[in-house]
Amino acid sequence: MYRIAFYRTPRDECPFQIFLEGHNEKVRTKFGKLVTALEEYGPNLKRPYADILRDDIRELRVGFGGNSYRALYFFFIRDLIVITHAFTKKTDSVPPAEIERALRYKKDFETRLALGEYEL
């Protein structure tokens, strides 16, 4: 079993939660089921539910009503998975800016955790 954490900004905002609050119950439910599967299977959760992007960033993949949604995450230490944020995917591939955003959040998470400024 893996542990799931949701990245929080220095202002204590959770980008993933903010995204979910802006979407309907079906999208939230689908993401909830995928987060539960990710908690159980970790790196063994594969396509079509999850995929590896680059630089240790991975994606959870949700489709609903003709739209594609993605939540980006990374593994920290052995059993901790940190979900950084989610977005509506409008292109064939994940936009590089979204991966860069996840990488910035990852660096911030690791830095603040090392300084004792981030609580899990």
Q: Per-residue pLDDT tens for 40-83? A: 999 999 999 999 999 999 999 999 988 999 999 999 988 999 99
The domain spans of the chain are: 3-114
How far apart are alpha carbons 59 and 112 in whole angstroms?
23
Give me the pLDDT at residue 117, please. 85
pLDDT score at 35: 97
Query: Which CATH entry fits the domain spanning 3-114: 3.30.420.40, 1.10.10.350, 1.20.1300.10, 3.30.2310.20?
Result: 3.30.2310.20
Cα angle 43, 85, 49 (rounded to 5 degrees) comes to 40
Whether the pLDDT of residue 7 is over 90: the answer is: yes
114: its two tokens: 């090392």
Alpha helices in 42-95 (DSSP H): none
Which residues make Cβ contacts (< 8 Å) with residue 64, sequence separation at least 6?
26, 27, 30
Neighbours of 79 (CB within 10 A): 12
Using one digit for the tens of pLDDT, what is the confidence trace for 94-113? 999 999 999 999 999 999 99
